Amino acid sequence: MVVSDANKERRRRAPLFPWIKGTLLTLGSVAVTMLGLLFVTFVIGRVMPIDPVLAIVGERASQSTYDAVYEQLRLDKPLIFQFFYYLWDVVRGDFGMSLLNARPVSEDIARVFPATMELATLGVFVGIVLGVPLGVIAAVNRGSWIDQIARVVALVGYSMPIFWLGLMGLLVFYGVLGWVGGPGRLGIFYQDIVPTRTGMILLDSAIAGDWSVFRNAFSHIVLPASLLGYYSLAYISRMTRSFMLEQLSAEYVTTARIKGLSERAVIWRHAFKNIRVQLITVIALSYANLLEGSVLTEIIFSWPGIGSYITTALLSADMNAVLGGTVVVGLIFICLNILSDLLYRAFDPRSK
Amino acid sequence: MSDMTSQHSSWREWLTTDAPTSRRHARLANLYQGWLTLRANSMAMFGLGILLALLLVALLAPVLSPHDPFEQSLSNRLQPLGTEGHILGTDSLGRDILSRLIYGSRITLYIVALVALIAPVAGLLVGTVAGYVGGWTDTILMRITDIFLAFPRLVLALAFVAALGAGIENAVLAISLTAWPPYARIARAETLTIRSADYISAIRLQGAGALRIITKHIWPLCISSLIVRVTLDMAGIILAAAGLGFLGLGAQPPSPEWGAMISEGRRFILDHWWVATVPGLAIFTVSLAFNLLGDGLRDVLDPKDGSQ
Amino acid sequence: MSLLEVENLWVRFPTRQGIFNAVRGVSFALERERLGIVGESGSGKSMTGRAILRLIRKPGIVESDAIRLEGRNLLELSEPEMRKVRGQKISMVMQDPKFSLNPVMTIGDQIMESFLLHNNTSKAQARAKAIAMLEAVSIRDPERVMRAYPHEMSGGMGQRIMIAMMLIPDPQILIADEPTSALDVSVQRQVLDIMDGLVKERGMGLIFISHDLNLVSEFCDRVLIMYAGRIVEVCDADKLHQAKHPYTQGLLNSLPRLDQPKKHLEVLKRDDGWADGESVGGS
């Protein structure tokens, strides 16, 4: 029929529009949120009781030096202008100079970031590989001993201070048992052997084929990664269990059983398929949480990532470094949240 | 004897009746039912017990503590567990760890109480106003809430305290600033649900103004979800406060804050492990208690969320 | 030997206030006919249907002398054997296709799965069968529907898809649990006619569970009336006006009728005594 053909044409062209509109709205939302973050960091930077000029020039500088730096930091301009200059700087990747080593903060951050990424990625990996099956099994066997264990695991994960557990881990597995490498990413004798390509030592040593460095790097990363992995596992398993319970009591699961499907097919082919999209969101959020968790974990393990960078800068009142690090972590945090949102929308057939 | 039991059973009957005689009666009966459900949950009771013990310890600190928490004794440094007079040993300055733990509970309680007062109240205000008034107010307030929700809590609290300077009040403020958004979200969601109810239209027709509606009708209904959320969040707040304390950004030395104690003991972890271990156990116990209680409260007040 | 025989079925649930008996001593037999089970919420009618398919899981307890499908006692089957019965011999259509279809699988995949489970054929053959089945339930564009997702379908279409999916393995008995309760009145008749046609065509037995006495009396050959877990009356659909039990009479009297105008529409008065007493046999 002629009418239905025309309708089909219209329907084929139309879907693109709402998708573009949706993405633009999301991007706009991201921009506003990032703007908010930068506004907050800007305010924090201005709220300091310490005089930023004095921090740079020192107390014995002359008045002219003081004035010169004052102008250079644009402190003479009205606040609104200062904010716009700040935005412009951030967009260009300029976070100012670090007070500690007089180098651009952005360079420092670029240098330390891969270490954190390596740690967080490994942690999330552990969380997924162990957490998802645990959550599914706990949901399917609700009330059984496995469910109770899963609950305890998660409860402990939500209640234990991560820096303390890391300390205990170091004490037991390094101090007492000697099973793992100590603080830092590599033992002294293994440093600077493998060329830096990605900044992630496990990858770099594997690429270079140097397996002794790889083993050493692994022995150093295994404890902090397991630590972060535990927290990730606690969160992921809890959410997986919750999602699965919701699905297992749904009508379509009964339908699947009526059809005569085996219980395994019902769980994985039907129920689990329905939570895949939600799990992606959870994983992205877990990654973001681990980035945050790294702040406290890295100092324990002397892990030279962005976490210890921020905390070291904190203790030396290096505000540029602190704020630069905060902005970077914050931006990644926001991006991960948005990414999970977008992925959810892309993969859930109901939102099309 | 039989008089007392008959009095008890008549109280019981009154509280479990199917036909309440007044609004207060109905409310008390509801509370009692909730209490019975909670009491059946042994884990939640365990948590409650720990928290009550914490309260007692904090209140009776001067009585319970064997030593002055600030009293240094350099000849007595780093004594192990079970030393005479110092059951939990001494730290690097010879101070009794048990006493410091006991007084540290006051600090923990102080932080918990302050944050529990500031964050949910702020969130409740923002959320109910946004939900009730709607329109541009709603959009702007929710944008701000979303922006704060999208920030990494600890990192932002760190930056904030770094700017303002270390100290317990600043730490509380920093944590509260990052903790209020979820409450605003919850309050707004509840407000939106209630706002469209018929009985709200009815009292509005009777002449009730927005303020009266919000305070007398919407707030009481938000309370239960907020209470559950606050209790569950408390664990995270304690951990955040401990983290700040660990970094030296919370209560300043010689204050016996538990997180700071861990930091002090970190240097000696390999040979004198108890200095850092014991305060961590305390933090863990209190956090766990809040989580257990929060889970139990959620089962009572919001059973459809059933995690059990 | 009847197609299905249920003897003395009890379904119990332990609760905090004691044991709740949802179904109490229900017995009936089903031939290749359309049997209606009518009752209000809580009468145990849905539970009866699910008990037959052994879908009731812990903590529910199912006890019965026997549930015989063509002489074979289903209660004695192991779980893998029961899975072969489900779908292939007895199937069930539920109330709301919005919830009873898997939202993230295409309709085609779901229907084909039903067929492939009980037939060792190729995917292409299953696909052809699925399309034929969709045409049999009067769906006009089966190719498009095969690729679509459940949320894109209207209520009536969704229910027809359910019927197609449940009948594709060619079962002998269909249990329909409130199949039209979630549909618009205008669509109800359509769906019922399609279901009726297919059941008659294949010589199946149909158990039609509903709260709507009117609907059941028009659509079924025999009617079982359930109250508080027991069967209180059994009769042929065309002899309903001769019903003896006060509950049935009360139900009938509370239905407004154009051909028998009354000044006062009666309210059903319940008698606690109806909950006691033996279940009437339904053979």
Our CA-based measurement puts residue A205 at a distance from the nearest CA of chain B, in whole angstroms, of 31
Q: How many domains does chain B have?
A: 1
pLDDT average, residue stretch A129-135: 95
> Is the Cβ pair B152, A158 closer than 8 Å?
no
A175 chain-B contacts, CB cut-off 8 A: 269-270
Chain A residue with the nearest C-alpha to that of B147: A33
Instruction: Write the pLDDT tens digit of every residue in B115-152.
Output: 999 999 999 999 988 888 888 888 888 888 888 887 78
Residue B290 lies in a domain: yes
Number of other residues whose CB lies within 10 A of the CB of residue A31: 10
Across chain C, mean pLDDT equals 88
B248 chain-A contacts, CB cut-off 8 A: 315
List beta partners, residue C282.
C28
pTM for this one? 0.85
The answer, yes or no, to whether residue A340 has pLDDT greater than 60, is yes
- Residue C275 corresponds to which amino acid? A
> Is the Cβ pair C86, A349 closer than 8 Å?
no
The answer, yes or no, to whether residue A224 has pLDDT greater than 90, is yes
Give the containing element (helix H, strand E) for B21.
Answer: none
pLDDT average, residue stretch A152-170: 92
Of residues A101 and B247, the one with the higher pLDDT is B247
Residue A167 sits at the chain B interface (C-beta within 8 Å): yes
**Three-state DSSP class for A144?**
coil
Rounded to two decimals, the ipTM of the complex is 0.88
> Is the Cβ pair A37, B151 closer than 8 Å?
yes
A251 chain-C contacts, CB cut-off 8 A: 94, 96, 99-100
A258 chain-C contacts, CB cut-off 8 A: 53, 55, 86-87, 91-92, 166
The answer, yes or no, to whether residue C200 has pLDDT greater than 70, is yes
Our CA-based measurement puts residue A351 at a distance from the nearest CA of chain C, in whole angstroms, of 10
Give the per-residue pLDDT at B10. 76
> Is the Cβ pair B163, A325 closer than 8 Å?
no
Instruction: Write the pLDDT tens digit of every residue in C61-116.
Output: 999 999 999 989 999 999 999 999 998 999 999 999 989 999 999 999 999 999 99
pLDDT average, residue stretch B163-186: 87
Length of chain C: 283
Distance between CA atoms of residues C72 and C3, nearest Å: 10
Our CA-based measurement puts residue A3 at a distance from the nearest CA of chain B, in whole angstroms, of 41
Candidates A254, A260, A348; nearest CB to C83: A260
DSSP B200: H
Residue A192 sits at the chain C interface (C-beta within 8 Å): no
What share of chain C has pLDDT > 90, as a percent?
57
Selected from 3.40.50.300, 2.40.50.100, 3.20.20.80, 3.40.1550.10, the CATH number assigned to the domain covering C1-81+175-181+205-283 reads: 3.40.50.300
Contact A293, B239 (CB under 8 A): no
A42 chain-B contacts, CB cut-off 8 A: none
Residue B7 lies in a domain: no
Chain B residue with the nearest C-alpha to that of A240: B307
Give the containing element (helix H, strand E) for C25.
Answer: strand C18-30
Give the per-residue pLDDT at B258. 93
Hey, where are the domains in chain C? 1-81+175-181+205-283
> Is the Cβ pair B152, A329 closer than 8 Å?
yes
Q: Which of A219-228, A325-334, B117-126, B205-214 has the lowest mean pLDDT?
A: B205-214
**A-C interface: how many C-beta pairs under 8 angstroms?**
67
Candidates A32, A296, A317; nearest CB to B243: A296
DSSP code string of A197-263: SSS-HHHHHHHHT-HHHHHHHHHHHHHHHHHHHHHHHHHHHHHHHHHHHHHHTSHHHHHHHHHT--H
Range of the domain at B163: 43-301
First to last CA, chain A: 27
Q: Which of A90-104, B104-118, C24-38, C187-201 has the lowest mean pLDDT?
A: A90-104
> Is the Cβ pair A259, C86 closer than 8 Å?
yes
DSSP code string of C101-122: S-TTS-HHHHHHHHHHHH----
The answer, yes or no, to whether residue C282 has pLDDT greater than 60, is no
The answer, yes or no, to whether residue A28 has pLDDT greater than 50, is yes
Confidence of residue B4 (pLDDT cuts 50, 70, 90): low
Residue with tokens 């998708």: A19
B242 chain-A contacts, CB cut-off 8 A: 161, 164
Of residues C179 and A292, the one with the higher pLDDT is C179
Candidates A273, A276, A349; nearest CB to C149: A349
- Residue A46 corresponds to which amino acid? R
pLDDT average, residue stretch A237-244: 94
Mutate which: C74, C104, C162, vs A, most A CBs within 10 A: C104
The answer, yes or no, to whether residue A73 has pLDDT greater than 80, is no
Our CA-based measurement puts residue A326 at a distance from the nearest CA of chain C, in whole angstroms, of 39
Candidates C91, C99, C118; nearest CB to A252: C99
Give the per-residue pLDDT at B308. 35
> Is the Cβ pair C114, A259 closer than 8 Å?
yes
Give the per-residue pLDDT at B5. 61
Contact B200, B213 (CB under 8 A): yes
Residue A280 structure tokens: 């992606």
Chain C residue with the nearest C-alpha to that of A250: C99
Give the per-residue pLDDT at A352. 52
pLDDT average, residue stretch A27-44: 83
- Residue B146 corresponds to which amino acid? D
Q: Which residues contact A242 (CB under 8 A, 6 or more apart)?
A: A135, A139, B307
> Is the Cβ pair B154, A292 closer than 8 Å?
yes
Give the per-residue pLDDT at A345. 74
Our CA-based measurement puts residue B165 at a distance from the nearest CA of chain A, in whole angstroms, of 8
Residue B3 lies in a domain: no
Mutate which: B154, B158, B177, B299, vs A, most A CBs within 10 A: B158
Chain A residue with the nearest C-alpha to that of C153: A350
> Is the Cβ pair C100, A349 closer than 8 Å?
no
Our CA-based measurement puts residue A258 at a distance from the nearest CA of chain C, in whole angstroms, of 6
DSSP code string of A82-117: HHHHHHHHHHTT---B-TTT-SBHHHHHHHHHHHHH
B278 chain-A contacts, CB cut-off 8 A: none
Our CA-based measurement puts residue A32 at a distance from the nearest CA of chain B, in whole angstroms, of 8
> Is the Cβ pair A252, C149 closer than 8 Å?
no
Give the per-residue pLDDT at C62. 92
Neighbours of chain C (3+ CB pairs under 8 A): A
Neighbours of chain B (3+ CB pairs under 8 A): A
Give the per-residue pLDDT at B6. 62
Give the per-residue pLDDT at A2. 46
C102 chain-A contacts, CB cut-off 8 A: 252, 255-256, 270, 273-274
> Is the Cβ pair A45, B163 closer than 8 Å?
yes
| Nearest one of C265, B277, C209, B246 to A165, comparing CA atoms | B277
Residue B138 lies in a domain: yes
Confidence of residue C163 (pLDDT cuts 50, 70, 90): very high
> Is the Cβ pair A330, B239 closer than 8 Å?
no
Chain B residue with the nearest C-alpha to that of A336: B150
Q: Which of A130-139, B281-290, C182-191 has the lowest mean pLDDT?
A: C182-191
Confidence of residue B219 (pLDDT cuts 50, 70, 90): confident
Confidence of residue A7 (pLDDT cuts 50, 70, 90): low
Confidence of residue A228 (pLDDT cuts 50, 70, 90): very high
Our CA-based measurement puts residue A290 at a distance from the nearest CA of chain B, in whole angstroms, of 10
The answer, yes or no, to whether residue A254 has pLDDT greater than 50, is yes
Instruction: Write the pLDDT tens digit of every residue in C207-250.
Output: 999 988 888 888 899 999 998 889 888 888 888 878 788 888 87
- Residue C216's Cα: distance from chain center in Å? 11
Domain harbouring B164, CATH code: 1.10.3720.10
The percent of chain A in helix, strand and coil, each rounded to the nearest 5, is 80, 0, 20
> Is the Cβ pair A175, B270 closer than 8 Å?
yes
Give the per-residue pLDDT at A178. 85
Pairing mode, if any, of strands C66-69 and C4-15? Answer: antiparallel
Give the per-residue pLDDT at A190. 82
Chain A residue with the nearest C-alpha to that of B152: A330
C140 chain-A contacts, CB cut-off 8 A: none
> Is the Cβ pair B155, A330 closer than 8 Å?
yes
> Is the Cβ pair A258, C99 closer than 8 Å?
no
Across chain B, mean pLDDT equals 85
3-state SS string for C206-223: EEEEECCHHHHHHHCCEE
Give the per-residue pLDDT at B47. 92
Give the per-residue pLDDT at B305. 44
